[in-house]
Structure 1
Amino acid sequence: MALKTPISMFQYQLVYGKACHLLVELEHRAYRATKFLIFDAKAVGEKRLLQLNELNEFRNSAFENSKLYKDKTKVWHDKKIATTAFEPGQKVLLFNLRLKLFTSKLKSRWSRPFAVTRVSLYGHVEL
């Protein structure tokens, strides 16, 4: 059986709406069911309708669990982001993303200090 997903449900349960059983157990149940089978269309229809309603409940709970997981992940991620407010006249270092890693291992990727000249409303900075 696979591990549970972050939304606390098994993948098989998400798809089929029930717990996963081994094939031998299903085969045994199917053999016993065929031995004592009585065909009642109305009862079978009601049982199928009940199974469909349970499947909808499983899907709703999976949706709620995924929403809770996404919210928790977003809160955790937003907590890790450090916001910095720059002001004109402040000295900052510029990080060079295009510098190759293996050209010179000990060369710093930070370049000389620059002065901030203007900060826009959306956080864009002019150096």
Structure 2
Amino acid sequence: MKLQLLELEEMRFNAYESSKHCKQRIKAYHDKKILKKSFQPGQSMLLFNSRLKLFPGKLKSKWSGPFSIKSVKSYGTIELEDPASGRTWLVNGQRLKHYLGGEVERLTTITHLKEP
């Protein structure tokens, strides 16, 4: 009976160690994939709208902008400024990507509805 308990304890310990090594390998793999982004004030950025659900649709872009960086705070916090309105707000740096294009035409459409 004691021998079976010792074998069971040894199997549990081996499974724990194997799981620990597997988690370390997976973490190392994912950490290699993280890209370091550097932000400087004055750069143009696009903002990922993950929470915007006002206009659901497959063809709607989830990136908005371009916005300019006003300042870079600690721990990856970026203060963005909208050049059109001058409004500023803080966002996580993980939600930004560099904007490499020129000027963007902001398309607005007006639809007039008639009463039936």
RMSD: 1.9
**Which of the pair has more CA radius of gyration?**
1
Cα shift at 1:91? 0.9
CA shift digits 1:29-81 (9 cap, x unpaired): xxxxxxxxxxxxxxxxxxx1111111111111111001001101111121222
| Aligned partner of residue 118 in structure 1, secondary structure | strand
Higher helix share: 1
| Aligned partner of residue 106 in structure 1, secondary structure | coil
| Aligned partner of residue 45 in structure 2, secondary structure | strand
**1:22-101 equivalences in 2 (<5 Å):** 48-100=1-53
The corresponding residue for 1:126 is 79
Structure 2 gaps of 5+ residues are: 81-116
Give me the TM-score of the superposition, normalised by structure 1.
0.56
Percent identity, aligned pairs only, is 55
Give me the TM-score of the superposition, normalised by structure 2.
0.60
Structure 1 gaps of 5+ residues are: 1-47
| Aligned partner of residue 122 in structure 1, secondary structure | helix
Higher strand share: 2
Q: For residues 76 and 17 of structure 2, what CA distance do their matches in structure 1 show?
A: 35
Q: For residues 60 and 102 of structure 1, what CA distance do their matches in structure 2 show?
A: 53
Cα shift at 1:101? 9.5
Aligned residues between the structures: 80
Cα shift at 1:111? 1.3
